Amino acid sequence: LSQLQSRVDDIGKIRALGFCVSIAHARFMARVFEDAGVAATAVWGDSPEEDRRHALRDLASGKVQIVFSVDLFNEGVDVPVVDTLLLLRPTDSPTLFLQQLGRGLRLSPGKTVCTVLDFVGNHRSEFRFDRRFRALLGGSRKDLIDQLERGFPFLPAGCHLDLDPVAREIVLSNVKQGVPSRWTAKVAELRHLGDKVSLRTFLTKTGIDLEDVYIGNKSWSDLRQDAGLLTSPTGPCEATLRRACGRLLHIDDLLRIDSYRRFLQAEAPPGELPVRETRLLRMLLEAVAGEATEKGTTLAQASDLLWSHPQVRRELLELLDVLGERESHLHQSLETHPEVPLQVHARYTRREILAAFGLGDGVKTPQWREGVKWVKEAGADLLAFTLDKTDGQFSPTTRYRDYAISRRLIHWESQSTTRADSETGRRYQSCESAVMLFARLRSDDRAFWFLGPARYVAHEGELPMAIKWSLDHILPGDLYAEFAAAVA
């Protein structure tokens, strides 16, 4: 009661729901509030239907300030005026938490905020705050820690999430300690679960992030081996190929996932393939077997190498099952270049991009260090840029001003040596080449979001040219919010 009084302007004007653990608990809470002069009532699953409807009508009209309930109102209840929620029953279910939270998030005239007081999260040390916040925010545990430390900068426009300093430290500590972080602890968890546990099941049962399995150049096969569980026979480059599995964690489109799965499920390497399929195979082989091969290694030789490592193939198939559940955007094929197996709004490394455009010899792709690449054979300009340039990785001459103006328009600066009347500058302006934009948030992100084709709108100056591009496909709302926050 005192916490609520300290966090709302006028307790006599709130419209609140309180979620209780038992009938006795709900009755007790209603009595305490009534004794304090706050109109309250309690209802539960066995209450007559008319009593439940009457309680909600009184809440909506303002006759009652708070309704305490037991196993009611989690879903299917529409009371838009509810502006306060009291979470009084323990639950580690993200679904139930979102259902309860949803009771207070409906828009209503005069309602500007929803105050949520969570009284149960810190009652047990094993409570998982990360599940609760990630149900709201998405992302990995590392992303959540970053959001907590920075004050939730990536929320959608119009949204604000505020934790007082004490609550913030409690949540941060819980998130950092909530799951096994040391390798030996992960090994012990897997050993306890047993030999038949898949990667997906292991992640589900332990709450460990996929990235935590592959941290420090480790792999799922390493974890199984260290836990004393059964693994397939090893190959001549086992350590190198296992380490490379962690380079696929960014894959988020079903084209790659389904294609890679089809390749890897076959007992023998693929034979002759159409151009598009060949490029997909090359993207896979370059990522997994690239470090274990030399210049001039053919696709057939790289395929034979991968197929000589059955445990790595087994791990990749399990990894693809997990990645298939992490697709976050509706992807679209690149209609202008049907042989290029890229999906708009999926993520790709530089080497995957080059392999998709057919650049390089055999399994190896050429080096691509700069932010621009002219692919003459495809008539395409590949422009890859980093949004947040505050980490010290950029010199004054490469700290270009690249950002999203809107979901359609991108401001991008050319290399500092590009003049407007140069061959490259004229090509940018002529719309004769296919301009492809790729963006990442930070320089330590290995993969870039493929923003798709873009068309020249206008430019200012030169050395560098400040160009405004119009995207053929508008940015998804969440990407635009992240892009905007990265340069704020």
pLDDT for 100 beyond 90:
no
Q: How many CA atoms lie within 13 A of 380 on its CB side?
A: 22
pLDDT in tens, 327-369: 889 999 999 999 999 999 999 999 999 999 999 989 999 999 8
Per-residue confidence at 94, pLDDT binned at 50, 70, 90?
low
Q: Tell me how many degrees the CA angle 64-65-70 measures, rounded to the nearest 5.
A: 85
User: Tokens 């340039």 — which residue?
Assistant: 389
Neighbours of 125 (CB within 10 A): 9
> How far is the C-alpha of 96 from the C-alpha of 365, rounded, in Å?
48
Whole-number Cα distances in Å, 110 to 6, 38, 81, 275, 482: 21, 21, 9, 59, 29
pLDDT for 180 beyond 80:
no
Q: For residue 469, give the 3-state DSSP assignment.
A: strand
Against a cut of 0.75, is the pTM above it? no
Per-residue confidence at 255, pLDDT binned at 50, 70, 90?
very high
Q: Quick one: average pLDDT of 77-105?
A: 81
Looking at residue 75, what is its pLDDT?
57
Task: Spell out the alpha helix ranges (H) of 178-298.
Answer: 183-193, 199-206, 210-213, 220-226, 238-245, 254-265, 275-289
| Range name among 108-122, 234-248, 401-415 with the lowest pLDDT average | 108-122
Q: For residue 70, give the 3-state DSSP assignment.
A: strand
Domains of the chain listed by start with CATH number: 2-177 (3.40.50.300), 183-323 (no CATH), 369-486 (2.30.280)
